[in-house]
Amino acid sequence: MTDNTAAFESAISSLGAEGGIVWVPAGNYLFNGTFTVPNFVTLQGTYDSPPAHNVGQHGLAPYDGSVLMPTAGRGGDENGTSFIKIGSNAGVRGFSFWYPDSPNTETPASYPYTLDIVGEDSIVENVELLNSYNGIRVHAPRFYLARITGQPTCTGIQVDKATDIGRIDNVHFNPWVRTATSH
């Protein structure tokens, strides 16, 4: 598969300072790097509600919708650069996140957070964190997390330095544990 990091960065930067929506059609998109969704930009996938795949049980790649497949940071500093940083008045909606380099046949490898809200008044909605090691980290006020599903293997959601109202609504993480010795 092709690394889509530069293509996504280009699509996002083409919006300019005014912002807008980057629409991501159905497909599986591999990323060897990380990127930022800047202020006033929304990265929009195909899901209008959170998908529910059974990757945690069977280790199968998602086969429908907009699927982002990060690989950067495997085995490194779990507090390192997140896969996607989200700026102010920005959002990530309608995606499944699946780590192809973290199969369910081995003990989960550490990764940095999948999503990192660093700007105020931002949103993550209709998202599935399939085999994410660390799911979502919030470092900003007035955030909104809604309809989040999945099976994070270390931390699902961490909220730190949120100095104002934050909302977390309708989160469902499955307790499936997958290690080299479980089936």
Q: What is the pLDDT of residues 103-127, one digit of tens each?
A: 666 677 889 999 999 999 999 999 9
CA distances to 4, 6, 69, 113 from 29, in Å: 6, 12, 6, 18
Domain-located, residue 96: yes
Question: How many domains, the chain?
Answer: 1
Q: How do residues 7-44 score in pLDDT, each as one tens digit?
A: 999 999 999 889 999 999 999 999 999 999 999 999 99
Q: Is residue 133 part of a domain?
A: yes
Rg (CA), the chain: 15
Return the closest-CA partner of residue 151 out of 82, 57, 17, 88: 57
Dump pLDDT digits (tens) for 71-100: 999 988 888 999 999 999 999 999 999 988
Domain that holds residue 91: 5-173
Amino acid 1 reads: M
DSSP helix/strand/coil, 8: helix
Sign of CA dihedral 95, 150, 167, 121: negative
